[in-house]
Amino acid sequence: MTVPPRPRTPDDLPALVAALRAVHEQSGYPSVWPDDPAAFVLGRGEAWVAEHAGRAAGQVMLAPLPEPRPAWAAQLVMPGEILEVKRLFVRPDAQGRGLARALLSHALSESRAREAFSVLQVNETSGPAIRLYEREGWRVLARAQAAWTDPDGSHPWVRVYAQPAP
C-alpha cells in the first residue's frame, strides 16, 4: 500500500537530491544536471513527497506560471489561477509502485481544492512520463519549444498537458 503524499520538509532535501541524481542518470531528467541540484529540487512553489522504505523517494510541485507567461498559455482563457505541475520524479528503485501516480493525483487534488486549473510540460522524449499523464486523463493542449536547453544547447520540444476533466 502506498503512503499518501505529504508536504516536503527541509529534512527531505538530501534524499530528494539523491533521487533526482538517480533519475537523471537513468532517464535523463532533468536533461542538464543543474549547477545547484538542491535549488532545482526546491524550485518555486509548494511541494509534496512520496515515501518508500521510510524516506522521501520522489516529489511533485505546484507553482504559478512564470511571468512572462509562455506563448502556449495564451490559449488558456479561464477564470481563476493557473498552476503548473512541476518537478515530478521518483527514484528508480521506487518506481512501479504507484508513487508517481499518487503524487500527480495529489497535485491535481490540491489544485482543484484551490479552484485553480492545472497544466504541465513534458519533454517529448520522456515516454514513461507521457504514458502516465495520458493514462491519467491529461489532455494535450499544445506542442512548444521549452524555455530550457538540452546538453547540445537546443530547446527541446515539449507537450503541454491540461488537467483531466473532473
What's the CATH code of the domain at 91?
3.40.630.30
Residues in the chain: 166
Query: How many domains, in total, are found in the chain?
Result: 1
> Which pLDDT score, from 0 to 100, does residue 70 have?
80
DSSP bridge partners of 121: 160
Instruction: Please write the tens of the pLDDT for every residue from 49-103.
Output: 999 999 999 999 999 988 888 888 887 777 778 999 999 999 999 999 999 999 9
pLDDT beyond 70 at 1: no
Residue with cell 493525483: 105
Distances (CA, A) of 23 to 5, 142, 158: 19, 26, 19
20/33 Cα distance (integer angstroms): 9
Instruction: Please write the tens of the pLDDT for every residue from 10-32.
Output: 999 999 999 999 999 999 999 99
Residue 144 lies in a domain: no
> Which pLDDT score, from 0 to 100, does residue 71 have?
81
Element housing 163 (H / E): none
> Which pLDDT score, from 0 to 100, does residue 76 have?
79
> Which pLDDT score, from 0 to 100, does residue 74 have?
80
Residue 152 lies in a domain: no
Residue 126 lies in a domain: no
